[in-house]
Amino acid sequence: MNDPATDATTDPTTDANPDTATHTGAGAGTAAAAAGGTDERDADERLRRWRLVLGGGEEADGTGRALTGRDAAMDRTLAALYGDGEDAGARPGPRSAGLGASAPGVARWLGDVRDCFPASVVQVMQRDAIDRLGLSALLAEPEMLEAVEADVHLAGTLLSLGKAMPEESREAARAVVRKIVGELERRLAARTRATLTGALDRSARVRRPRHRDIDWNRTVRANLGNYLPEYRTVVPERLVGHGRASRAVRKDIVLCVDQSGSMAASVVYASVFAAVLASLRSLSTRLVVFDTSVVDLTDLLDDPVDVLFGTRLGGGTDINRALAYCQSRITRPAETVLVLVSDLHEGGIRGEMLKRVAAMRSAGVRFVTLLALSDEGAPAYDREHAAALAALGAPAFACTPDHFPEVMAAAVEKRPLPVPGE
């Protein structure tokens, strides 16, 4: 099939009207030129991308396409981390490295990364820098705190190193984690407090409220059966009131968090949320972390950074043992919400774990199972255990940090949980 634009350009006189023929030929010629320009731009863009993939410094390197400006900066930044050389001061050759163990420019490099790439790529390159460069050199940079991107995965990486971290790096690592935690608190704390405070107020039902304490929306819903159509009126046989301000503890929250290596991001977020929940007077909050052993970090909740450095990422998993500990600390089951954060890969006794969950549910505990508390969706998890928990009335699902306050509000108010995708 012939190209209409080509045909019209080849023989513009086929139109009976000379003016029309002239315009048709000119228009087709313009279209062909535009198409040719697009092809050239596409080819140039492909060549540009290949040059960035292959490296080779700023020279054309036989391709006829030299790297300039932003592209050259991107190439230098990539070469410094992923290249083969070791001389930090050398002129970049075929993707030669510029971040040796003694390189003084790590913080400067971090700044270049942030200038050249989006945050998601920055986070990946930071993690790669820790792996390739070595933690000591990265944390020894005085300007590192200002340059580093606040990233929950970076916090998880630092925490997972634990006692393997060089002594001279620990204070710097703690400062980095504190910066990351501060960013998370600014993002999540206010909304969490507001959402939970509202839920607690609504859950404190008052049978005979004063006029100013009446929750009119709930009152109308509770009395829809008393609607009189002839008067177009709902008769409020039962009044529902907001809870009055009280210093009494209304709900007990237990966060039981799996600290195996795959749950690093969830541990960071859970620690921040636990500290926020602990700041609410109407809640009694307990934080328990576990692998094959169980550690109660409740006494550290005044400072989430202390909490995080009290964890020990990695190791096996004994969910049953952790739940046994939590169960032993529950004194008001009907007023308790227990949140298990785990991928459910149980190394303990599966049958006992499920019996324990069933017993707590029967006693009135609101049981919530989160496969992950992060922005990355559900990890690889034990589907058989998840199905068994769902059969007990404790559906397991992944939850983002932004969605967590709504999940907790529903649990506190004993409403159906807002499970994503349902």
Q: How far is CA 247 from CA 64, 134, 203, 252, 370, in A?
A: 74, 50, 15, 14, 30
**Nearest alpha-carbon partner for 370 in 282, 267, 280:** 267
Q: From the options 3.40.50.410, 3.40.50.2000, 3.40.50.720, 3.40.47.10, give the CATH code of 191-198+246-413.
A: 3.40.50.410
- In the chain, residues under CATH classification 3.40.50.410 are 191-198+246-413
pLDDT for 352 beyond 80: yes
pLDDT of res. 20:
44
CA–CA gap between residue 378 and residue 399 (Å, rounded): 8
Share the mean pLDDT of the chain.
78
CA–CA gap between residue 390 and residue 406 (Å, rounded): 20
pLDDT per residue over 237-264, tens digit each?
Answer: 888 776 555 556 688 999 999 998 778 8
Q: Which residue has the higher pLDDT, 192 or 348?
A: 192
Q: Which residue has the higher pLDDT, 263 or 89?
A: 263
pLDDT of res. 284:
93
Judge contact between 343 and 379, C-beta under 8 A.
yes
CA–CA gap between residue 422 and residue 189 (Å, rounded): 26
Judge contact between 243 and 209, C-beta under 8 A.
no
Mean pLDDT of 386-412: 93
**Nearest alpha-carbon partner for 395 in 364, 368, 422:** 368
Mean pLDDT of 311-319: 83
pLDDT for 26 beyond 50: no
pLDDT of res. 321:
96
CA–CA gap between residue 57 and residue 179 (Å, rounded): 35
CA–CA gap between residue 335 and residue 329 (Å, rounded): 13
**Residue 93 in tokens:** 């050759």
Judge contact between 50 and 61, C-beta under 8 A.
no
CA–CA gap between residue 372 and residue 387 (Å, rounded): 16
**Nearest alpha-carbon partner for 216 in 244, 236, 194, 197:** 236
**Residue 253 in tokens:** 């929250």
pLDDT of res. 158:
80
CA–CA gap between residue 163 and residue 264 (Å, rounded): 16
> What does the CA dihedral 337, 342, 345, 348 come to, rounded to 10 degrees?
-50
pLDDT for 1 beyond 50: no
Strand runs (DSSP E) across 124-244, as ranges? 227-228, 233-234
**Residue 63 in tokens:** 């391709």
pLDDT of res. 206:
57
**Nearest alpha-carbon partner for 305 in 408, 181, 198:** 181
pLDDT for 52 beyond 90: no
Q: In what order do the strands lie in the sheet with 251-258?
A: 294-296, 283-290, 251-258, 336-341, 366-373, 396-399
Bridge partner residues of 228 (DSSP):
233
Q: What is the number of other CB atoms lying within 10 angstroms of the CB of residue 151?
A: 21
pLDDT for 14 beyond 50: no
Judge contact between 327 and 247, C-beta under 8 A.
no
**Nearest alpha-carbon partner for 102 in 137, 52, 132, 129:** 137
Judge contact between 282 and 250, C-beta under 8 A.
yes
b/e per residue, 182-200, with b = 16+ CB within 10 A? ebbbeebeeebeebbeebb
